[in-house]
A and B are shown apart, each in its own frame.
Chain A
Amino acid sequence: MQPSRSLRILTISAFLLVLLSLYMVFVYAPREVVMGAVQRVFYYHVAAGWIGALAFLVTLIVSILYLATNNIILDRIAVSSVEIGVVFTSMNIASGSIWARPIWNTWWTWDPRLTTATVMWLLYIAYLMLRQGLEDPERQRRFAAVYGILAFASVPLTFLAIRIWRTIHPVVIGSNDPGAEGQFDMTMRMRSAFFFSLFTFTVLYTTLLWHRVRLEGLACRVAIMKARLLHDR
């Protein structure tokens, strides 16, 4: 089955937007004076983090709706969104770590944001592993929806827990809050590049989600065909 016209248009616009945002990030936005070129990582880094959070929020919503309605499409959106969210969260964590090396002088610090992002990443890897470990498809959908709700609820609690931990514990590298170390004032052009990256990533997320949901539908159809074939023989 060929992708629909609107999906094709969306895919092409997402691609063009990525090119344009790369231009904004590397050419249009000025070089930051204190940090140098590495500051440019910031635009995509924040955008990837935003998509991670958005994707898991979408999973939460469709998981609740799935339990209420038993509509399979909602479950397909849930698993697709988690997968994309994990990819973007990985980008977010890895790029942040690379940025921190020259700025904080370390690859890693256990600061609230980093740690929360990592725990979130592990939560949704666990979500995917749970799905893989369950054989019965109906049970798989139900359990995954419950875990999708539970996982999302625990993310803000994790952030709070680490912040409480941090405020009492000694801080190792300067101040661990990027508000103090690695802070910079955004010029108008930087701001434009930043918001444009956010927009681009959101469109990119929508596009990938649509493709991924279609893939899930295809997988379902093939599974049905296979079962029917085995049954007929």
Chain B
Amino acid sequence: MFLQEITPDTSFYMLLGYAVFAILGAGYVISLLARSRKLRREAETIARIQVEDSEQSLS
């Protein structure tokens, strides 16, 4: 009777479970940041090329 009432130690699985939430959640946020940074850099490059182009056509 007494043995049945001992709560099993399952903290390893709990940590594993929350590690999944953390890795997937953080991974997704990081991917969002990386993508937006890449796009922003591209936009800057394009803007710079446009400025150079207009300067060339002026001179």
Stretch at the interface among A91-99, A112-120, A142-150, A161-169: A91-99
Pairwise interchain contact B39-A95, C-beta atoms closer than 8 A: no
A-B contact count (CB 8 A): 93
Pairwise interchain contact B10-A102, C-beta atoms closer than 8 A: yes
Per-position 1/0 for A22-50, Cβ under 8 A of B: 00000000011111111111001100100
Complex Cα spacing A215 to B35, Å: 8
Pairwise interchain contact A35-B20, C-beta atoms closer than 8 A: no
A208 at the interface (CB under 8 A from B): yes
Stretch at the interface among A126-134, A172-180, A218-226: A218-226
For A95, give its contact among B20, B29, B50 (CB under 8 Å). Answer: B20
Dominant secondary structure of chain B at its interface with chain A: helix
A41: which B residues are within 8 A, CB to CB? 13-14, 17-18
Complex Cα spacing A212 to B31, Å: 11
Complex Cα spacing A32 to B7, Å: 8
Pairwise interchain contact B39-A218, C-beta atoms closer than 8 A: yes
A44: which B residues are within 8 A, CB to CB? 17-18, 21
Q: Which residue of B lies closest to A25 (CB)?
A: B18
Query: B2 to nearest A CB, angstroms?
Result: 14
B residues within 8 Å of A by Cβ? 5, 7-11, 13-14, 16-18, 20-21, 24-25, 28-29, 32, 35-36, 39-40, 42-43, 46-47, 49-50, 53
Given contacts A40-B17, A99-B13, 4 further A-B contacts (CB under 8 A): A102-B10, A215-B39, A219-B35, A232-B53
A residues within 8 Å of B by Cβ? 31-41, 44-45, 48, 84, 87, 90-91, 94-95, 98-99, 101-102, 208, 211-212, 214-215, 218-219, 221-222, 225-226, 229, 232-233
